[in-house]
Chain A
Amino acid sequence: MPVVARANHPEISELGSKAALHQPNAFAILSRMTISLGPTDLDSARRAKLAEALVQAGRGDRNAFATVYAATSAKLFGVCLRIFPDRNEAEDVLQDAYLTIWNKAASFESGRASPISWLVAVTRNRAIDRLRAKKKVGTSSIDQAAEIADSAPLADAQLIEQADDRILHDCISSLDQRDAMFIKNAFIGGSTYADLAKNEGQPLGTIKSRIRRALLKLRGCMEGAA
């Protein structure tokens, strides 16, 4: 028995994996250990571990932050690529997102949200902020909305790999095509109600009630299917 007994000392073998974290290969392996989104395959122990690492990162623990990165970077890079198909831009956003996560980690409350949905929300918000800033300087948003519709088709084979994805896909497909596009243009393209109304040349109220009806229908469909 070691005479020095202090709680939470890691084993030297664990430390090795931390050192290995700085190597690209080990990183790739760790990055594949991503946390799945679906509540059904969400390993609760892993989720608790991620939540704990995030809380520790909020207290300034860099090792814990490296753990968060290793477990979530593939998921969050996917988010960035969905919003910015240009790889270089997506990489910039990913970097920016993790720095935001580092700064905001202290505000994460594990009781209120799952760590992964919190991380995805922070990342999406960073990406959308950037997209909106670009749009302000850039071209007409109608063109960009059309681009989103083309570059991220809902029938994307990769998107329907998982059961949860398939339910979402089926339910969105059951919506009016226009409503489905509004939902995607908001979530992936950063369009607000005001943007959509302007693009459609319709009164704000009309767009709002359309989307609200679509949201209730979507929720009903997904809960019925789950």
Chain B
Amino acid sequence: MTAITDEDFTLAGEYVLGLLDAGQEAVVAARIATDSDFAAEVEAWRLRLNPLLGPEHLAPAHIWPKIEKALPAATLQDVGTAKLTFWRALTGLSVTAAIFLGVLLLQQPAPTAPVANPTPMIAALGSEDGRSAMTASYDSTQGTMLLMPVTLETGELYPELWIIPADGKARSLGVINGDRPTAMDVSPDMRQYMNEGALLAITPEPAQGAPGGVATGPVLASGKMIIL
């Protein structure tokens, strides 16, 4: 640690103000990385001067969806471990399978009149640590959902599936089979919530489902419904 001189104080201020040329900036950036006293002085200048960069303004609501869309695909984001990569690859595979099954489902003999604008939706449900738990594919024309569990450990309890629409309230879709792929009918009063952007989530609950329709267990996995 070197003693901070007046030259250092001004240098830190010059750096924060952006007065330096590219070469000097690079030198200062290197010093910040190696000299914590100097880094603290840069931070102090930022705190002093940042009020000049205000006041706050509410960002328009359409910005976030654009940012989210522009992020690289989650599978490309390196988080490091091979295990994670494996699970992500598996998620990819089961999503593909879900899409395939979803398409099959849609190709089942149509009712007498052709259906307008079928909107197949899928969701990949993963745990907080990124592990794939289940994929779901929903056919809104039939109100049918295909569930393909990947890993769903609920111990002595049973996986209960919830739909959480924009209002943030979790509504039960019922206890599901966590061991093998199944097709379920979404009850007619729940179909209104099965929209793009709604969240599917799984909690461990007693065999007969969460008492009073309120989740008691922690969320094991969740995923947003997206339109194909």
List the interface of chain A (C-beta within 8 A of B). Answer: 2-4, 6, 8-20, 22-24, 26-28, 31-32, 34, 37-39, 59-60, 62, 65-66, 69, 73-79, 81-83, 91, 94-95, 98-99, 102, 112-114, 117, 120-121, 124-125, 128, 156, 158-159, 161-162, 164-165, 168-169, 183-184, 186-188, 190-194, 196, 211-212, 215-216, 218-219, 222
B4–chain A nearest beta-carbon distance, Å: 11
Q: Are the CB atoms of A77 and B58 closer together than 8 Å?
A: yes
| Complex alpha-carbon distance, A161 and B224, angstroms | 40
Q: Are the CB atoms of A192 and B21 closer together than 8 Å?
A: yes
Q: Is B57 an interface residue (CB 8 A)?
A: yes
| Complex alpha-carbon distance, A75 and B54, angstroms | 7
Residue from the list A28, A83, A168 in contact with B51, Cβ < 8 A: A168
Question: Which chain A residue lies CB-closest to B162?
Answer: A12
Specify which chain B residues have a CB less than 8 angstroms from the CB of A120 in the assembled complex: 46, 50, 53
Q: Are the CB atoms of B164 and A184 closer together than 8 Å?
A: no
Q: Is B47 an interface residue (CB 8 A)?
A: yes
Instruction: Please report which residues of chain B, range 25-70, place their CB below 8 angstroms from some CB of chain A when the two chains form the complex.
Output: 32, 36, 39, 43, 46-61, 63-68, 70
Specify which chain B residues have a CB less than 8 angstroms from the CB of A186 in the assembled complex: 17-19
Grouping DSSP codes into helix (H, G, I), strand (E, B) and loop, the A interface class, with mixed when no group exceeds half, is helix
9 tightest A-B CB contacts, nearest first: A9-B218, A16-B168, A3-B155, A24-B61, A60-B77, A165-B51, A20-B168, A77-B59, A12-B215
Given A95-B66, A211-B14, 11 more A-B residue pairs with CB atoms under 8 Å apart are: A4-B155, A15-B170, A15-B201, A31-B59, A102-B71, A162-B51, A194-B21, A215-B14, A216-B9, A218-B48, A219-B9
